[in-house]
Chains A and B, each alone.
Chain A
Amino acid sequence: MKLRNPYLRENITGYLFILPQFLLFLLFIVYPIIEGIRLSFYKVQYQKETFVGFDNYATLFSDPVFFKSIVNTVIFVVFIVLLTVVFSLFVASAVFDKNAKYVSFIRGSYYIPVMVSMVVMSMVWSFLLSPANGLISYMAREMDLSVVNLLGNKNTVLPVIIFVTFATNVGQAIILYIASMIGVPKDLFEAAEVDGASRLKVIFQILIPLVKPTTIYITIVNIIAVLKIFVVIQLLTGGGPNNASVTMMYYLYNNAFKFNQLGVASAVGVIMFIITMLLSVPQLRSMFKDK
């Protein structure tokens, strides 16, 4: 192709290079968002769509199970993210300046559950917690605890899911913090050491403030990951007992693929979309700040 105008030519080259990615982006990200917003105002029965205004949203906000799903999702987000940030800061600040073999052992053993996936880990935990045959239930019986079936009790089911999700996924945050702490300039520590600062003081006054961008990143990525928490709910509790552990994503899935309420499910999706967009503003801002 011979184009005489070099400016036009460079423009076209640029567009051609981004074209495949951009088309996929339009078809599988932008269009579903627009279509999802539109569907949330419709009642969908097979091929027939009837405009119903805000009816789907009204249905949602009069459904106590939907409220339960919001409350549970918020509880999961708050506790899982807090546990993840605090524990991974603790782990990373303890090991980052030790020898490489030890660091890679710690990193590896916390990261392996992330690798083998939430599906596999949920299956193991479901076995461990199984009321009749599980190791944990057995130990609970041996220790005469009042609750043996931890997943079948509405007071213990949320803490158990919080713990399982946290224990499975914390490895990612640990890797990030270790990388970020290793990158902190050494002379800062030397100066603190000359001043006789204790290790705890160094951690709180130098390390934690300096890895703040990593903290923001971990917080946001984890909030969004927990917001769509699904696998562990489906495999461990099925939302039960009596909807005690239902989450927004699980509620959406059931409405869409079990109850065939596509309009209502779309409305849940729109609400979740708005939440993720609001939450990711600080992250996006920090990503574009260096431009």
Chain B
Amino acid sequence: MLQPNTKSKRQREKYDVVSNLIVAFFAILNLFPLYWLFTSSMKNSSDVVKMPPDWWPKTFTLSNYFEVFESQPALRWTFNSLYVAGLSTVLLVITSSMAAYAFSKLQFKGKNLIFVLLISSLMVPKEVMIVPLFRIAQDLGLVNDLHGMIWPNVATAFGVFLLKGFFDSAPDALREAARIDGAGEVRTFLQIMLPIVKPGIGALFILNFVQVWNDYLWQLVIGQDREMKTLMVGIATLMQDLNPNFAYKMAGATVAAIPMLIIFVLFQQYFTRGISIGAVKE
């Protein structure tokens, strides 16, 4: 039973069968809100509120999507989100791979203390300090500026935490060989060590990109003009929109959902691995 491949074809236990039926049932049920989102977004404005509802749309229309892109700067929002999530992640990969390498392979005074300090900050969500953080952004002229959304995300110690484990398991012998060949520390880092931790960088890239893409509160307070909003924040404003057409709102939500669904389908392996790496470090 616990060994699906064993030859001893004992009957599956009742509990095993029943529990898996329940799990599979809820797995499908859990997708229902998304099914409702997609189908509603393609109904016309009267069908979408019809009771009893059409479980499957009678007519399909894309007009709600056109309306989202015509009445809202949704393309601009998408670009903003890509820019913020992309640049945050690239910067984070650079700074944290450098730092993780140093914490793992180099010797310097105060190393352990600094590392403990950094890691301790992992559990503090930046939102609890949003008032001083916002004032810093004001002082730096970063309010209503996409870069204001970026920098606090690069400050997280998550990348250091994740990558240090990868550097730790890279053999020291490679580093020494490079040194004997006369390579300096920077070259050793770039040409020998970075390629080894590529899987870690892949995981960090994906996880952080999604994290920043779906981040909400900080982007809400920084992006104040309509043109400066990110996709999540902009689409959320449709909820307060006076337009009573729910199909239009659902089309907006679908637009916000699709990029992440694509990323998930393409990179599912990275997610499973990346998320687990973070945790299985006891």
Contacts and interface: CB of A to CB of B under 8 A. Distances in A.
Interface stretch (B63-71, B128-136, B197-205): B128-136
- What class of interface size applies to chain B in its complex with A? 35 or more
Contacts of A193: 1-3
Describe B's contact surface by its main secondary structure. helix
A24 B111 contact: no
A116 B20 contact: no
Interface string A204-243: 0000000001100110100011011011001100000000
Contacts of B102: 13-14, 17-18
A38 B157 CA distance: 24
Contact of A138 (B52, B135, B250): B52
Contacts of A84: none
A113 B261 contact: no
Contacts of A269: 128-132
A130 to B, nearest CB: 7
A235 B236 contact: yes
Given A94-B20, A97-B2, A123 B239 contact: yes
B153 to A, nearest CB: 9
A132 B217 contact: no
B125 to A, nearest CB: 5
B118 A25 contact: yes
A18 to B, nearest CB: 4
A106 B24 CA distance: 7
B98 A11 contact: no
A214 B124 CA distance: 20
Interface residues of A, number: 112
A60 interface: no
B4 A252 contact: no
B13 A199 contact: yes
A29 B280 CA distance: 26
A176 B273 CA distance: 9
Interface in B246-272: 246, 249-250, 252-254, 256-257, 260-261, 263-264, 268, 271-272
Given A21-B159, A24-B155, A109-B27, 4 more contacts: A14-B106, A116-B256, A224-B123, A235-B239
26 contacts: A14-B106, A17-B99, A20-B95, A20-B98, A22-B118, A25-B118, A27-B151, A28-B152, A28-B154, A31-B136, A108-B268, A116-B260, A120-B235, A123-B250, A175-B271, A175-B276, A180-B276, A180-B279, A199-B2, A199-B13, A199-B16, A249-B127, A265-B131, A277-B124, A280-B124, A288-B116
Q: What 4 A-B pairs are tightest by C-beta distance, nearest first?
A: A14-B108, A280-B123, A17-B102, A28-B155
